[in-house]
Every structure is written in C-alpha cells, then in structure tokens.
Structure 1
Amino acid sequence: MDIKGIGITNRINSYNKISTNKVNNVANKVTKDRIEISKEAKALRDYGIDKSEFDREKKVSEIRTKLSNGTYNVDAKLTAKAMLDHMRGIK
C-alpha cells in the first residue's frame, strides 16, 4: 500500500498539478474578437446629412481655393455656437 505524506512537499506538488491543468485548459481554448455595429449606429452614420444636398468634394474644393487665395475666414463665435448647439442636441 502506498501512503502519501501530508508534508509541505506533497501539498505543493498537488497545487502544481492543479495549476498546470488549469493553464492547459485555458491555453486550449481559442477565442476570436468580434464586433457588431447595431442598426441604430448604422442609421446615425448618415444622420442629418442629405447626400443630395451635400457635395463633400465640392465643399473641400471651395475651401482649398479660399485657403490658397487667403480669403477663407471663419467666424469663431458662429463655430463655437454650432458646437455647443450640437452638444446640447439642438439642431
């Protein structure tokens, strides 16, 4: 008959066996990250922009021309007001 002692060495060995089994079990699992964009988020993507009224390329071209001519001016108060209105949810 094999009688195992109750000394510290046996306790450490038992702990190591359990720890190794847990690590091996975790290592065998393969997980994949996944992201899903909700319907609401997709709808918000184009919120407030009517594509027929907004021509991005034309607007960028106009700004570039004004910048190169030195005629592009921005009203800081109007910009700040628009930003605050946007944060407050006012359109």
Structure 2
Amino acid sequence: MNIKGMGPLATVNYYNKIASNKIEKIDKVKTSDRIELSKAGKVLNDYAVEASSYDKAAKVEEIKNKLLNGTYNIDAKLIAKSMLDVMKEIK
C-alpha cells in the first residue's frame, strides 16, 4: 500500500490558494426592533418614576427623624438573614 501525504510546500500552497479566493461580502439589511410608547404611556411612566422617588424620599426622611429621636430600632436577626440570603445568591 502506498500512502502519499501532503508535504510542507503543498500545505503552504493549499493555504495560499484558499486565502486568495476572496468571498464577496453581501450587504445585510440592518433591521432592529423598535418600541414607541404613546403619550399616555409616557405620562404614566413619568408618574411611576416620580411616585417611586417620592416614596424613597419619604422613607429616608422617616428614618432620619427616627435616628434623631433615638427611636430607630434595628432587628439584628433580620439583617443577618438578609446578609446570608445575599451571600447565597452570590455563590
């Protein structure tokens, strides 16, 4: 049985032949998805953002007042549980 392989020169020539054959690029039509909100949707979105910021500001103000009055109590068990839950999510 006679098996002939490709020598180093034949391999280089084959590679150069493939590299020289340029494939024409086809221009693809760029498509993208779009969503447009109606005016009512935009107003509702603005309202939701304002309401959430108002709630946060009110909560911060409430905590500040409790800290100043010395009536802010922290549940250590609840904080420890929350910390453990976050650590479990990270893994």
TM-score strictly above 0.5: no
After TM superposition, the score normalised by the length of structure 1 is 0.37
TM-score (norm 2): 0.37
